[in-house]
């Protein structure tokens, strides 16, 4: 079987309001968690308690995502402005 090689270049990645998108998604996960919390007993009785905890995990991972994309966005803006911090190179002394 021959190795597959692309016949055209990959398109540039789409850049949009990444921070706003991740923040909005995180808020949705937390709202879903809070909306399901009063019904936890029903979910537990029907073996669906994992739905509640999935929403909490989505909100928690979303917080990590917000932190990550804010730092990424700041680094992209720093690099575009030409103020990228130099990386430390250990000396061989």
Q: For position 90, what pLDDT does the model report? A: 57
Question: For 31-67, how does the pLDDT look when each residue is reduced to its tens digit (9 = 90+)?
Answer: 999 999 999 999 999 999 999 999 999 999 999 999 9
Res. 7 pLDDT band, cuts 50 70 90: confident
* DSSP string for residues in 2-46: PPP--SSPPPPPP---HHHHHHHHHHHHHHHHHHHGGGHHHHHHT
pLDDT band at 6 (very low <50, low <70, confident <90, very high): confident
């Amino acid at each position: 079987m021959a190795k597959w090689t692309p016949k055209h270049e990959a398109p540039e990645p789409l850049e949009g309001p990444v921070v706003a998108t991740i923040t909005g998604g995180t808020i949705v996960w937390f709202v879903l968690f809070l909306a399901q919390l009063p019904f936890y007993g029903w979910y537990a009785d029907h073996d669906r308690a994992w739905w509640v905890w999935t929403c909490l995990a989505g909100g928690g991972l979303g917080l990590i995502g917000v932190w990550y994309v804010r730092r990424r966005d700041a680094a992209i803006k720093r690099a575009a402005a030409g103020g990228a911090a130099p990386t430390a190179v250990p000396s061989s002394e």
